[in-house]
Amino acid sequence: MASRGVLCCRLLDRHNGTGGAIAQLGKLFARCANRKFQRYSSATHKENELELGDSTSAAANFAASLKTGSTQELVSPRSRRQRLNDSDIPFSAFLTDSFGRRHSYLRISLTEKCNLRCQYCMPEEGVKLTPRGQLLSTSEVLTLARLFVQEGVEKIRLTGGEPLIRPDVLDIIAELRKLEGLKTIAVTTNGMNLARLLPKLKESGLDLINISLDSLVPAKFEFIVRRKGFHKVMEGIDKAIEMGYNPVKVNCVVMRGLNEDELLDFVALTEKKPLEVRFIEYMPFDGNKWNFKKMVSYQEMLDRIRQQWPSLETLPSEHADTAKTFKVPGFKGRVGFITSMSDHFCGSCNRLRLTADGNLKVCLFGNSEVSLRDVLRSGASDEDLLQIIGAAVGRKKKQHAGMFNISQMKNRPMILIGG
Ligand SMILES: C[S@@+](CC[C@H](N)C(=O)[O-])C[C@H]1O[C@@H](n2cnc3c(N)ncnc32)[C@H](O)[C@@H]1O
Ligand code: SF4
């Protein structure tokens, strides 16, 4: 793992007295900012100003800091370094933000495409797809993954879009498996291709599976995902159990008037099957027509389940867990709640996201992004990439702006982020 101090010195050594190189890095940053401006041209003027404000000042700081020989302001404010010195276990400063959060979990979106059209994830008319050449190639995904793992990422989740429709998904998993230090490789899938691919996924080294399923009623499933396929998903879930994945996590986005009446049926499913059914609060993203009234809060869900099973037990949670987990005594499986809306878990957030077109997103609900693809394609070194990653992580906010603000904010549709 490269220490930030050492890398900064190396970078400065290399660029000392070379105004051209400094200007080039500054331009590189500005180019990324411009691309972002083009992509989000539908954002309001104020939002664009905010976005550009972030990136361009970072670009200017970056170039200036190289000139003066001080990278402190951009990548390593004193308080940030102090926290790092205080901690017992060393961790990459590039992946540690100014609130001391260590980002050891990377979610990589492998594709913007999907074989379903879930109402809560994408608009009915679909989304404008990024041209193929602008998506990360297999080797770019692996180069970036390797860099993050070298810096301390221990868990990578492949998502999308639907990750299992990407033809090279097995190769990607097999290559990730070779990365020393990477403890867990997970996939979030809609389950449509799962039963068929599972033996090969397991052979390639897949550790964990989350399968999305929002209804146990086939007709309602089709209504929510706007496609057929209920039985394929159920087959995928059973196959995952049969192949020894335990627990198999089932993601269920709960929406009022749609599937909230199935809460108890989903809990009942955990009686005989080693599932962790995770009820997810409905979140706002571009094009999904989110509305506060459609959201069923964690507390409301819990109350309803407790009426049926008053003995529901709380299970202990780990520091960076996003789910609050419970178990009905005697049941094989358990239930969890992802409370991003009513009780966010920003304080212990350890996640970073890489979109299929190569943007690093430090917060699911923030619209600030930086293109690692452009940096990579400009021929930048690992050190240059780390500087840019470190600067983005350093700008990560303490917490998201609250559910009403994020519902007004310009963000990508979920399918283009990678949940
Ligand atoms: C975007 S999907 C991508 C992976 C895969 N296609 C799938 O559906 O599992 C990842 C997860 O995000 C969840 N998700 C999508 N839109 C959401 C929303 N508006 N609120 C809460 N969860 C959402 C999905 O239910 C899914 O579990
Ligand atoms: S939630 Fe997953 S399956 Fe549904 S549309 Fe989004 S990416 Fe596709």
**Tens-place pLDDT, residues 142-181:** 999 999 999 999 999 999 999 999 999 999 999 999 999 9
Higher local confidence (pLDDT), 314 or 64 = 314
Taking the centre of ligand 2 as the mean of its atom positions, its distance from the CA of residue 189, in whole angstroms, is: 8
CA of 330 to the centre of ligand 1 (A): 30
How far, in Å, is the centroid of ligand 2 from the Cα of 417? 11
- Ligand 1 center–CA 354 separation, angstroms: 15
Contact indicator for 418, 356 with CB cutoff of 8 Å: yes
Closest ligand relative to 418 C-alpha = 1
335 and 199 belong to one structural domain:
yes
Q: Do 119 and 186 fall into the same domain?
A: yes
Instruction: Give the pLDDT band of residue 385 (cuts 50, 70, 90).
Output: very high
Q: Which of 118, 193, 232 to mutate to test the pocket of ligand 2 (most atoms within 8 A of CB)?
A: 118
In a domain, 201, yes or no: yes
pLDDT of residue 277: 98
What is the mean pLDDT of the segment spanning 229-251? Answer: 97
Helix (H) / strand (E) element for 75: namely helix 72-75
The model's confidence at residue 402, banded by pLDDT at 50, 70 and 90, is: low
- Residue 297: alpha-carbon gap to chain centroid: 22
317 vs 294, residue with greater confidence: 294
Quick check: is 358 in a domain?
A: no
Whether residue 241 is contained in a domain is answered as: yes
The per-residue pLDDT for 200 is 98
Please check whether residue 86 lies inside any domain of the structure.
Answer: yes
Question: Per-residue pLDDT averaged across 351-360, rounded?
Answer: 97
Q: How many CB atoms lie within 10 A of CB 316?
A: 6
Verify that 284 and 169 share a domain, yes or no. yes
3 pLDDT more than 90: no
Q: Which residue has its alpha carbon closest to ligand 1 atom 3?
A: 160
Whether residue 73 is predicted with pLDDT greater than 70 in this model: the reply is no
pLDDT of residue 357 exceeding 70: yes
Given this model, what pLDDT does residue 134 score? 98
Distance of CA 207 from the midpoint of ligand 2 (Å): 21
Residue 357 lies in a domain: no
Between 341 and 146, the more confident residue is 146
**Residue whose CA is at the smallest distance from ligand 2 atom 7:** 161
Cα of 142 vs its chain's centroid, Å: 17
Same domain flag for 115 and 85: no
Q: Between the CA atoms of 56, 22, 6 and 369, what dihedral angle is there, to the nearest 10 degrees?
A: 20
Cβ neighbours of 289 (radius 10 Å): 11
CB 135 within 8 A of CB 112: yes
Ligand 2 pocket: which of 107, 108, 113, 116 to mutate (most atoms within 8 A of CB): 116
The fraction of the chain above a pLDDT of 70, given in percent, is: 77
Q: How many helices (H) and strands (E) does the chain have?
A: 16, 12
185 and 320 belong to one structural domain: yes
Residue 84: what pLDDT?
46
Contact 407, 290 (CB under 8 A): yes
**Domain around 232:** 105-347
**Closest ligand 2 atom, CA of 122?**
5
Answer yes or no: do 92 and 239 share one domain. no
As given in the structure block, the two tokens for residue 265 are 């049926």
Tell which residue, 65, 99, 94, 66, has the closest CA to residue 82. Answer: 99
90 & 167 share domain = no
Q: From the CA of 419, how far away is ligand 1's center (Å)?
A: 5
Which DSSP state fits 246? S
Please tell me if the CB atom of residue 190 comes closer than 6 angstroms to any atom of ligand 2: yes
Please return the burial class of 79, using the count of CB atoms within 10 Å of its CB with bins 0-12, 13-18 and 19+.
exposed
Query: What pLDDT is attached to residue 70?
Result: 34
- Ligand 1 atom closest to 283 (CA): 20
Q: What integer best gives the mean pLDDT of the chain?
A: 81
Tokens in use for 394?
């350093």
pLDDT score, position 124: 84
> Which ligand approaches the C-alpha of residue 114 most closely?
2
Do 63 and 193 reside in the same domain of the chain? Answer: no
Residues with CB under 6 A from ligand 1: 114, 120-121, 159-160, 162, 188-190, 212, 251, 253, 280, 282-283, 285, 288, 414-415, 419
Within a domain: 66 = yes
* Domain match, 385 and 336 both: no
In a domain, 313, yes or no: yes
183, two tokens: 């403890």
Confidence of residue 30 (pLDDT cuts 50, 70, 90): very low
Asked if residue 294 has pLDDT above 50, the reply is: yes
- Same structural domain, 18 and 165: no
Q: 88 pLDDT band (50/70/90 cuts)?
A: low
pLDDT exceeds cutoff 60 at 47: no
Region of residue 306 (phi > 0: left; psi between -120 and 50: alpha; otherwise: beta): alpha
Same domain membership, residue 379 and residue 341: no
Q: How far is the CA of 252 from the centre of ligand 1 (A)?
A: 9
Q: Given a cut of 70, is residue 404 above it in pLDDT? A: no
Q: pTM for this one?
A: 0.82
Among 15, 1, 137, 29, smallest CA distance to 371 is for 29
**Distance, CA 150 to ligand 2 centroid (Å)?**
30
Taking the CB of residue 273, how many other CB atoms lie within 10 A of it? 16
CA–CA gap between residue 306 and residue 303 (Å, rounded): 5
Helix (H) or strand (E) holding 73: helix 72-75
Give, in order, the Cα–Cα distances in Å from 380 to each of 11, 250, 387.
12, 40, 11
- Asked if residue 41 has pLDDT above 50, the reply is no
Q: For ligand 2, what atom is nearest to the CA of residue 192?
A: 3
Q: Is 415 in the pocket of ligand 2 (CB under 6 A)?
A: yes
- Taking CA atoms, 167 is separated from 137, 140, 193, 281, in Å, by 12, 15, 12, 31
DSSP annotation of 44: -
Mean pLDDT of all residues in 231-256:
97
Q: Determine the distance separating the centroid of ligand 1 and the alpha carbon of 289, expressed in angstroms.
A: 15
Contact assessment for residue 224 and residue 256, using Cβ atoms and an 8 Å cutoff: no
Query: 67 C-alpha to center of ligand 1: Å?
Result: 44
**Residue to mutate (ligand 1; options 118, 248, 342; most atoms within 8 A of CB):** 118
Q: How confident is the model at residue 403 (pLDDT cuts 50, 70, 90)?
A: low
Q: Any idea which of 103-112, 201-210, 346-355 has the lowest mean pLDDT?
A: 346-355
**pLDDT in the model for residue 295:** 92
Pocket flag, ligand 2, residue 212 (CB < 6 Å): yes
Q: How many residues does the chain have?
A: 419
Cα separation, 110 vs 414, in Å, equals 13
- The answer on 130 and 90 residing in a single domain is no
In the prediction, which pLDDT does 417 show? 78
Instruction: Give residue 220's identity as a one-letter amino acid code.
Output: K
Question: In the beta sheet, which residues pair with residue 357?
Answer: none
Ligand 2 lined by 332 (C-beta under 6 Å): no
Query: Count of domains in the chain?
Result: 2
Within a domain: 352: no
The pLDDT, as a whole number, for residue 67 is: 33
Distance 214 CA to ligand 1 centre (A): 10
Residue that has been written with the tokens 């809990």 in this structure: 267
Q: 């929510």: which residue's tokens?
A: 224
364 contacts 403 by C-beta, under 8 angstroms? no
pLDDT over 90 (residue 371) = yes
Q: Work out which ligand 1 atom sits closest to the CA atom of 159.
A: 4
CATH code, domain carrying 284: 3.20.20.70
Q: Which of 112, 119, 121 to mutate for ligand 1's pocket (most ligand atoms within 8 Å of CB)?
A: 121
pLDDT at 333: 97
- Average pLDDT score over residue span 258-286: 95
Share of the chain above pLDDT 90, in %: 64
